[in-house]
Structure 1
């Protein structure tokens, strides 16, 4: 039996061993299996006995065809695809192909050191400071998978130092009531289609993907309701698709104000007139509410382009994100006296804590009223 030895590092005292595993068929050299990190000598002995048994009966196997980081990735990605939605798989696969594999793919997995991992982390932080942590998480998964395959003894990615993320922008990401009115007035002069889209985002609180996936069958003009049953996503082939929302609470029915519904109805007539000229059946309930010139689903980038055109006409308006229209809806609901539960239901949050964490900030007007309440109370 191999000898179990004790060693120490900054994390404490542990046990390890090295076991002779025979002759390598390819190199003719002796093979050894190393194991370390055991907290007790008994744990080390248990693992050693198990390995000796597996080697003696031929059940121990270390896949020699898997050598590089990319080899491990190729094996892991097949299983990963079965556990996530196509849209999520497309994003993660793209991250690997564009950011992770170019830096690590060619390294032998058993030769990847902490220094190599740290250098990769630093590179990702420079190029993608807002999302580099996701790259670290998935690179770590690959080496963790290699450890489970017994290709490496430890995962050096678990010891990297993650740079401190830069603080997010402090500018508020929503319009006040007056700013929203001014913005919509500008958009209305530019394009009725643009006006309808931004009015719907601001007055419904729906996500941009939910709006772009809407078809006329989702809209009930008699009861002034809109059903959210789909969202826009991307398939693993990079195509726009309309899957159901991720959570049950995202599937919801929104009560809408009469004026917004009237604006939508007028847009339906305008769109139908255009589609009929193109020989398209405008009465089909599956017809998307917003489409491009080819009558296909639009992208969020197009809506952002519309926003940039409009905002350039008034440099006093804050440059919010498209998601900022959802923030605007929630903020104005709060200012109007809506409860956190009401806002949670309307926005489709599965957990009310999400609503409280994101939207329960005070508007400028409420902040002034709050301090006045304090002064008044003290007399």
Structure 2
């Protein structure tokens, strides 16, 4: 197997699932069942085999099955570029999440080095019209799919920024307290900006790589308080220093990549994504996710695992078939959920199927040969 695919997924006391053991091949995985049966929980489990907090951004204690609260575990066998890796993540009750790769303890970032993952969930449907936080998270997730070390820069930046903001709130005016912090913020922040610019360039290239049934989006990185040359650490450091009086008055840092945004324009209409119809906004979002997958495939050597939660429910039959055709043409293993098997009829034998139901208060996942 020369692509990227999970061939085994095992869950223990995860969300609504007491125990799940699935064996898969590299084809897309179609998961169907009633609302509340536990379909999205399977996708969330898969997402935790990548760096970060997963597609719901939940804390470790939120993932354990109730009422037992024994802790939880997710294991998977990942085939990646002719190599096989055993991945495991989980947390004992009240403890922090741990990661193991090939039976050795590892940092979360290491999961991004052996595999890549992108996802689209219903909460992202408002991406183009919600606040900037959601778009930054979306862009940073895309950036991680290309540059796993982006997570380290983000953590360094956030930690130093919290310390600087604490000084500002305490009205500390002595410059000596700020010098080292601002240097650290500037170095990490400049790297974050460069990484995001690289990711946007890759997303744009990914859209240009194929003819698609989904519209293209013109993407660019913006900032509420723009700094020319923000990707240069010294320029950002000077901007932080110059901004101290304003920051003291505001009680927070007003310049830097934490103020960034991702602007999008529907290329075919020259219209900002926020002004498009709901259907056009969804189509643009799918276009960007597919572009992300194409670009990662070129960059990493294999397309990422794609997680699509309830994506088919908002597409007509033509667009749904086009989406499935593009996923199959990419050669990506996409894990997709829907309320009924009819939503996956266009896939036929190009996919493998899992039915999720609730039995005696627990989710049950059963593999099927057809929808």
The TM-score with structure 1 as length reference comes to 0.24
Task: Indicate the structure with greater helix content.
Answer: 1
Higher relative contact order (CA 8 A, sep 6+): 2
**TM-score, normalised by the number of residues in structure 2:** 0.25
Q: Computing the radius of gyration over CA atoms, which structure comes out larger, 1 or 2?
A: 1
